[in-house]
């Protein structure tokens, strides 16, 4: 059986997933630590992609070429776009777009040269499984989560959204930049720095890819406020629970 890849950009997004693995073994490739082991009887490779699209593309290629993974799940944080998406909500990507790609006038803005499209689709089956896992997690919110944390981040009733996730090599941290993105890409629900790169590499290799992001900020002037705390105290719990539930459901599926 080929292993499944579980990926995040930053350590705090993945630390609790690693804690779940009883038998992990480390392999270093291209300066990255790949953790090989098992979760719910599934062979997994857990890795930090690093931040940004180039780091993501290198990691995705290594996972496929060297570790032979047969699907990739990305879990992490993102900036929320639009009125309806709040901090603490989860966004599952149904498609990805490089918001900083512009080869005009040779190609329409955002179009990936040679692909004839600007959007890359998430794998339907994997995404469906992810929706079920996230719904479960959101309806069974962590009982071990500090009441102060729930209060600080207004996590009383986080919602699940599904739609377009946009990626670029910049941390969006001003109301102006966020507003511009929303005007130019009104369908975008979340902004991050790796998803579209993973989706493109996975598209090239024909490997199923899905991603879920917990909203850590509104991609505005307050985006960096409490970011580290959110990662450690909220995102890490959410990631671990989603991965745990998803792999559990694969294991128990008929």
Catalytic residues: 13, 217
Which secondary structure element, helix H or strand E, spans residue 188, and what is its range?
Answer: strand 188-192
How far CA 25 is from CA of 8, 19, 22, 62, 243, in Å, comes to: 18, 12, 10, 17, 19
Question: How many C-beta atoms surround the C-beta of residue 138 within 10 A?
Answer: 19
For residue 211, state whether it binds ligand ADE (rule: CB under 6 A): no
* Closest distance to ligand ADE from the beta carbon of 112 (Å): 20
How far CA 2 is from CA of 20, 36, 151, in Å, comes to: 20, 12, 42
Binding mask 120-159 for ligand ADE (x = CB under 6 A): ----------------------------------------
For residue 87, state whether it binds ligand ADE (rule: CB under 6 A): no
Determine the interface stretch with ligand ADE among 17-25, 26-34, 72-80, 146-154 (rule: CB under 6 A). Answer: 72-80
Binding mask 170-199 for ligand ADE (x = CB under 6 A): -xxx-----------------xxx------
* Residue 79 or 88 having the CB closest to ligand ADE: 79
Q: 32 pairs with which residues across the strands?
A: 29
The string of DSSP codes covering 93-104 is: EEEEEETT---T
Residue numbers of the site for ligand ADE (CB under 6 A)? 77-79, 171-173, 191-193, 216-217, 219, 223
């Amino acid at each position: 059986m080929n292993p499944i890849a579980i990926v995040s950009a930053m350590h705090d997004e993945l630390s609790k997933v690693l804690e779940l693995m009883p038998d992990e073994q480390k392999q270093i490739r291209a300066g990255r630590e790949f953790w090989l082991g098992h979760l719910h009887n599934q062979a997994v490779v857990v890795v930090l992609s690093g931040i940004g699209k180039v780091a993501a593309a290198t990691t995705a290629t290594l996972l496929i070429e060297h570790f032979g993974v047969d699907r990739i799940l990305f879990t992490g944080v993102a900036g929320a776009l639009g009125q309806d998406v709040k901090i603490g909500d989860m966004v599952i990507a149904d498609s990805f777009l490089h918001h900083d790609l512009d080869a005009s006038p040779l190609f329409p803005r955002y179009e990936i040269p040679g692909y004839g499209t600007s959007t890359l689709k998430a794998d339907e089956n994997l995404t469906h499984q992810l929706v079920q896992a996230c719904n479960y997690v959101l309806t069974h919110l962590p009982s071990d989560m500090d009441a102060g944390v729930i209060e600080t981040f207004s996590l009383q009733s986080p919602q699940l959204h599904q739609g377009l996730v946009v990626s670029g090599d910049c941390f969006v941290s001003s109301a102006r930049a966020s507003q511009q993105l929303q005007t130019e890409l009104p369908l975008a629900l979340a902004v991050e720095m790796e998803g579209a790169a993973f989706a493109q590499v996975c598209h090239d290799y024909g490997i199923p890819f899905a991603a879920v992001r917990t909203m850590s900020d509104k991609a505005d002037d307050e985006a960096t406020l409490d970011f580290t705390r959110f990662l450690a105290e909220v995102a890490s719990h959410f990631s671990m629970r989603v991965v745990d539930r998803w792999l559990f459901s694969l294991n128990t599926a008929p």
